[in-house]
């Protein structure tokens, strides 16, 4: 009997040990699965959040709706890229001085932007020489800089990786070509004057536009056998190409004026001087501020129009004032950039450069519009209020 009881007890103990072993094994498997699940969850969360990139963007100003349109394009593209990524992968801080004459404020803004250690910097420089120290600091800290609009001309080699902008020199030529078609018959009827108002003589976008206009106008005029003399602001007089006349023997005088500060009112003062000259037949304003200055001067003078006894005006950019003047025929036409596209391309270039992808200059294009085509879809999409 004792022997039978011993056998039964041994069997019970064996079953108990087997159950404990099985339980331990199941617990271990459950822990491994939990850890694997936890690891997988952490990996999945990391993929969802991913690396984030922050951009600091310093524009030339916010005094015109042009810069607001650039901002609009940048914001829309940022949202599109984040939507594609599935999370807020990119963020930006977009700033600019109140006036495009306020170089010192832009220097402070760029310094502050650099101090945040962004993944990439966007810059439309008012005066590269004033920003040179900060640009060199960005370069030494390996923070990529992408230029936009006027870009960062004459920056240290390698500091600026690419630019998102209109080919401004080519755009100035477009303005000259379009104007010349309307005035070439009047040029042959005696000594005449063509005016140009530029808001400054320092930024790449303005100077290249102004010089593109002057050089192309000189080319057109000299090809038609005319002698041309350029007078006014020394930057434009000294940098233009092809002038072949003097103040005394020229058939056409191109007069270039630049205000002391970048305001519509001061541009209007400079425009008024040209519009009051009895031999003036045409005038060009190389950006929104200067074009609006021409229109402001005309409010008193009432000399603009397309008739042969009026002064033909051509502008640049857009805005309610210019659009209304073109529609009414007070201003013959204007060259439009695509500021929304500039903002969009800027974000794409910043994102690519921040992620160590190769980037290159991107021409965002331009077009000439008049009352006849201002409502066309291809033109209207580039115009802003």
Residue 13 has pLDDT above 50, yes or no: no
Residue 39 has pLDDT above 60, yes or no: no
The total domain count for the chain is 2
Evaluate whether residue 145 is within a structural domain: yes
Residue 134 has pLDDT above 50, yes or no: yes
Evaluate whether residue 139 is within a structural domain: yes
pLDDT of residue 197: 98
The mean of the pLDDT values for the chain is 88
CATH code at 287? 3.40.50.2300
What is the DSSP-derived secondary structure letter of residue 159?
Answer: T
Residue 20 has pLDDT above 80, yes or no: no
Evaluate whether residue 196 is within a structural domain: yes
Evaluate whether residue 238 is within a structural domain: yes
Residue 103 has pLDDT above 50, yes or no: yes
User: b/e for 170-189, b at 16 or more Cβ within 10 A?
Assistant: bbbbbbbebbbebbeeebee
- Domain boundary pick from 317, 336, 355: 336
Same domain, 212 and 224: yes
pLDDT bucket at 84, cuts 50 / 70 / 90: very high
Same domain, 111 and 62: yes
pLDDT in tens, 158-213: 999 999 999 999 999 999 999 999 999 999 888 999 999 999 998 888 999 999 99
Among positive and negative, which fits the CA dihedral 160, 161, 165, 168?
Answer: positive
Evaluate whether residue 266 is within a structural domain: yes
Residue 361 has pLDDT above 90, yes or no: yes
pLDDT of residue 17: 37
Same domain, 140 and 258: no
Same domain, 144 and 181: no
Query: Per-residue pLDDT averaged across 276-280, rounded?
Result: 97
Determine what percent of the chain is predicted with pLDDT higher than 70: 87
Cβ atoms < 10 Å from Cβ of 3: 6
Evaluate whether residue 129 is within a structural domain: yes
pLDDT in tens, 312-346: 999 999 999 999 999 999 999 999 998 889 999 99
Same domain, 69 and 127: yes
Same domain, 317 and 261: yes
Cβ atoms < 10 Å from Cβ of 363: 14
pLDDT bucket at 45, cuts 50 / 70 / 90: very low
pLDDT of residue 48: 54
Same domain, 176 and 324: yes
pLDDT in tens, 218-255: 999 999 999 999 999 999 999 999 999 999 999 999 99
pLDDT in tens, 58-72: 999 876 788 988 999
pLDDT of residue 12: 39
Do residues 323 and 385 lie in contact, with contact meaning Cβ atoms separated by under 8 Å? Answer: yes
Same domain, 127 and 185: no
Interior CA angle at 293 toward 292 and 296, to 5°? Answer: 85
Residue 112 has pLDDT above 90, yes or no: yes
Evaluate whether residue 123 is within a structural domain: yes
Evaluate whether residue 218 is within a structural domain: yes
Q: Can you name the residues that pair with 123 across neighbouring β-strands?
A: 58, 147
Structure-block tokens of residue 41: 């969850």
pLDDT of residue 289: 96
Same domain, 108 and 190: no
Same domain, 250 and 304: yes
Do residues 18 and 55 lie in contact, with contact meaning Cβ atoms separated by under 8 Å? Answer: no
pLDDT of residue 49: 55
List the domain range (segments joined by +) for residue 297: 168-336
pLDDT of residue 226: 97
pLDDT of residue 2: 40
Same domain, 119 and 260: no
Residue 141 has pLDDT above 80, yes or no: yes
Query: Per-residue pLDDT averaged across 50-62, rounded?
Result: 94
- Sequence-ordered alpha helix ranges (H) in 258-376: 264-275, 288-301, 320-328, 339-354
Same domain, 235 and 150: no
Query: Per-residue pLDDT averaged across 124-136, rounded?
Result: 95
């Amino acid at each position: 009997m004792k022997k039978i009881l011993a056998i039964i007890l041994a069997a019970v103990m064996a079953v108990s040990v087997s159950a404990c072993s099985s339980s331990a094994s199941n617990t271990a498997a459950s822990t491994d699965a939990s850890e694997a699940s936890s690891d997988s969850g952490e990996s999945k969360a990391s993929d969802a959040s991913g690396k984030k990139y922050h951009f600091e963007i310093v524009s030339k100003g916010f005094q015109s709706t042009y810069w607001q349109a650039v901002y609009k394009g940048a914001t829309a593209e940022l949202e599109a890229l984040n939507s594609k990524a599935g999370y807020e992968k990119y963020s930006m801080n977009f700033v600019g001085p109140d006036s495009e004459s306020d170089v010192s404020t832009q220097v402070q803004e760029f310094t502050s932007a650099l101090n945040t250690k962004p993944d990439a910097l966007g810059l439309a420089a008012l005066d590269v020489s004033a920003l040179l120290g900060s640009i060199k600091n960005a370069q030494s800290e390996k923070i990529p800089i992408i230029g936009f609009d006027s870009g960062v001309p004459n920056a240290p080699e390698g500091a600026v990786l690419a630019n998102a902008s209109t080919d401004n020199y080519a755009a100035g030529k477009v303005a000259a070509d379009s104007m010349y078609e309307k005035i070439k018959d009047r040029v042959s009827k005696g000594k005449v004057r063509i005016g140009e108002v530029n808001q400054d003589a320092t930024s790449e976008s303005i100077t290249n536009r102004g010089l593109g206009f002057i050089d192309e106008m000189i080319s057109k005029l000299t090809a038609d056998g005319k002698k041309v003399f350029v007078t006014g602001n020394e930057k434009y007089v000294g940098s233009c190409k092809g002038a072949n006349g003097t103040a005394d023997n020229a058939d056409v005088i191109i007069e270039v004026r630049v205000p002391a500060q970048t305001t519509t009112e001061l541009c209007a003062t400079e425009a008024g001087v040209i519009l009051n000259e009895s031999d003036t037949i045409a005038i060009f304003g190389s950006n929104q501020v200067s074009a609006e200055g021409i229109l402001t001067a005309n409010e008193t003078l009432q000399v603009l129009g397309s008739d042969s006894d009026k002064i033909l005006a051509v502008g640049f950019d857009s805005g309610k004032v210019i659009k209304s003047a073109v529609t009414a025929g007070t201003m013959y036409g204007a060259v439009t950039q695509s500021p929304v596209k500039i903002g969009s391309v800027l974000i794409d270039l910043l994102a690519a450069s921040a992620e160590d992808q190769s980037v290159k200059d991107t021409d965002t294009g331009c077009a000439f519009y008049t009352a006849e085509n201002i409502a066309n879809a291809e033109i209207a999409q580039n115009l802003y209020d």
